[in-house]
Amino acid sequence: SPKNAIRLLRAGETVIVFPGGAREGLKPSTERYELFWQDKYGFIKVAIASGVPIVPCFSAGIDHCYFIINNGYELGKKLFGTYMPLPIFMGLGAMPFPVKIKHYIGKPITHKLPRQAYRDEKVVKKLHAAVLKAEEDLKQVVAELDEVTKREFVRTFDAVDKQFRDTFVRLFGGGSARL
């Protein structure tokens, strides 16, 4: 709860918050890497009331652990009239697909706001916008890093392949080989 989070943070503990909650974690695969934070302000209020920074994080690959066919919340509402999630997902049985997950941690978003500023809607929305921007910036950096990594891999692979071809010709007195 926000009250417990504030208590822990004021005591010097670390708190991890997933603003999108279960809705974001159980979204259909057609919505991969979409955030559902647009109307989530509680984590912002907790950070202000506790006087702590917000550290944006991004996990690349997490949305590929399972293939989720439906919006589980819509199915739960249709079947039971409640907001209970009933996602239909595919993995390796109950186990997730074997995917590499990379975790990226962004720069802390600091603020010098007085703790009572969590009551001011304008202040909360301004910090919220900064967090959303930082998360998008982090996703962009991750995409750029992935592109640089791919190019470097290809460059390195091509150099190793050339060395392999040259070595093959020297060892066997001709012919050709490729990696």
Mean pLDDT calculated for residue range 169-178: 91
Q: Tell me, what's the pLDDT at 125?
A: 96
Hunting for tokens 């909650």 — which residue is that?
21
What is the percent of the chain with per-residue pLDDT over 90, rounded to a whole number? 36
Q: Tell me, what's the pLDDT at 44?
A: 95
- Tens of pLDDT, residues 52-91: 999 988 888 888 888 899 888 888 888 888 878 888 888 8
Q: Tell me, what's the pLDDT at 82?
A: 81
How confident is residue 31, by pLDDT bands cut at 50, 70 and 90?
A: confident
Task: Using the CB atoms, write b or e for 157-172: b if 16+ within 10 Å.
Answer: eeeeeeeeeeeeeeee
How confident is residue 3, by pLDDT bands cut at 50, 70 and 90?
A: very high
Angle between helices 2-10 and 42-50 (to 10 degrees): 30
How confident is residue 41, by pLDDT bands cut at 50, 70 and 90?
A: very high
How confident is residue 93, by pLDDT bands cut at 50, 70 and 90?
A: confident
